[in-house]
Amino acid sequence: MLILMKVKLAMLAGALAAPIVATAFAPTPPQDQDGARRLPSASFSYRAAGDFSRNGRPVEGPLRELRLPTDLVIMKRQVTVAEYGRCVDEGACPRIAIPASPQDAPVVGVSWHDASAYAVWLSRKTGVTYRLPTDAEWTFAAAEKARDEAMPLVDPSDPAQAWIARYETESARARPVATAAQPGGTFGTNSNGLDDLGGNVWEWTNSCFVRVSLDGGQERTTNTNCGVRVVQGAHRSYMTDFIRDPRSGGCAAGVPPANLGFRLVMEPSPPVVTAVTRSVAKLLRRA
């Protein structure tokens, strides 16, 4: 909990620092052309993440046509062992057990907190606000690599049928031959020019787990648990934020993601910052 608060504070601090740096050293050096891609805003279909129900029965999350408010600038590759290592060396990221992967392989075994700490550090280093994508942003960026996997719905009067069907769906999924993180590019490039989406590394998003009631045609969030975040990859999953190594077993009979890693998006004009700048400007005017 304390870690979470610290991260949040640091993120806010980073966000506040950004415009000052940007003003001082304007213009911000553009992103390394190989390091990020700018995806023009366009409409895409998105299945809302979370648990949805109507009149006490589980239903699929609603499928919507979405359009991000601005272009999305997102890293071409997942953050690598070498990149994360620099953050660790500067004391800004938790030191984690890194398996003997090549330096250019994606860093795996990172929790949501680790990934968030990296975003804060990178924002501070570059003067640009980086953060984890939302689930919707990830889905937009992943394009054809995003899977809208309809899982059988649980019938409360005979829940076992859906459990068995889900188990069979999960068991039938093609699993990557190698479970160790592979060098960037191993799992191909998508139509947006982004690498390794849906490979053997799942990516943390900033989206929290929600439970939503659709009773009476109204969408009502009955619970938001930000201790559990959406992770995205070959299939969507939900993961407690401090988990670094996903695994199942015991009561959890499902098939877990193979590895947890991340890539970041760049805030074009962070709404928080804009709002703060505007209020500061207002205050100044009054003074």
Partner 1 sequence: MLTRRTALMGAAVAALMMAAPAVAGPADDLKLPRQKVELVAPPFVHAHEQATKAGPKIVEFKLTIREKEVVIDDAGTKFHAMTFDGSMPGPMMVLHEGDYMELTLVNPASNSMPHNIDLHSATGALGGGALTHVNPGEQVVLRWKATRPGVFVYHCAPEGMIPWHVVSGMHGTVMVLPRDGLKDAEGKALRYDKIFYIGENDLYVPKDANGKYKTYETIGESYADTTEVMRKLIPTHVVFNGRVGSLTGKNAMTAKVGETVMLVHSQANRDTRPHLIGGHGDYVWEAGKFNNPPQKDLETWFVRGGSAGAALYTFREPGIYAYVNHNLIEAVELGASAHIKVEGKWNEDLMKQVTPPGPVPPDKIGAADPVAVTR
Give the footprint of partner 1 on this chain (CB under 8 A).
51, 53, 56, 58, 97, 99-100, 156-161, 163-164, 167-168, 170-172, 178-180, 208, 210-211, 213, 221-224, 247-253, 255, 258
- Nearest CA to 51 out of 151, 132, 119 is that of 151
Contact yes or no for 108/245 (Cβ under 8 A): no
Task: Report the distance separating Cα 257 and Cα 232, nearest Å.
Answer: 9
Q: Considering the complex, state which of residue 51 and residue 244 has its C-beta at the smaller distance from partner 1.
A: 51
Question: What minimum distance in Å lies between the beta carbon of 36 and partner 1?
Answer: 28
Min dist CB 119 to partner 1, Å, is 21
Q: Please state the closest distance from residue 236 (CB atom) to partner 1, in A.
A: 17
Q: Which residue has the tokens 């947890």?
A: 260
Q: Indicate the residue among 9 and 178 with the shorter CB distance to partner 1.
A: 178
* CA-closest candidate to residue 190, choices 23, 44, 32, 22: 44
Q: Are 22 and 16 in contact (CB under 8 A)?
A: no
Neighbouring residues of 148: CB distance < 8 A, sequence distance ≥ 6 = 45, 47, 63
In angstroms, give the least distance from the CB of 134 to partner 1. Answer: 11
Which residue number, 220 or 278, has a Cβ lying nearer to partner 1?
A: 220
Q: Which is nearer to partner 1, 76 or 166 (CB)?
A: 166
Query: Any idea which residue has 């068991």 for tokens?
Result: 171
Of residues 143 and 152, the one with the C-beta less far from partner 1:
152
Contact indicator for 119, 131 with CB cutoff of 8 Å: yes
Q: How far is the CB of 283 from partner 1 (least distance, A)?
A: 26
Three-state DSSP class for residue 52: strand
Q: Which is nearer to partner 1, 1 or 97 (CB)?
A: 97
> 190 Cβ partners below 8 Å, 6+ apart?
142, 143, 144, 145, 197
Tokens of residue 184, six digits: 């960037």
Shortest Cβ 281–partner 1 spacing (Å): 28
Nearest Cα neighbor of 239 from 279, 280, 204, 212 is 204
Q: Closest distance between partner 1 and the C-beta of residue 180, in Å?
A: 7
Nearer to partner 1 among residue 159 and residue 268 (C-beta):
159
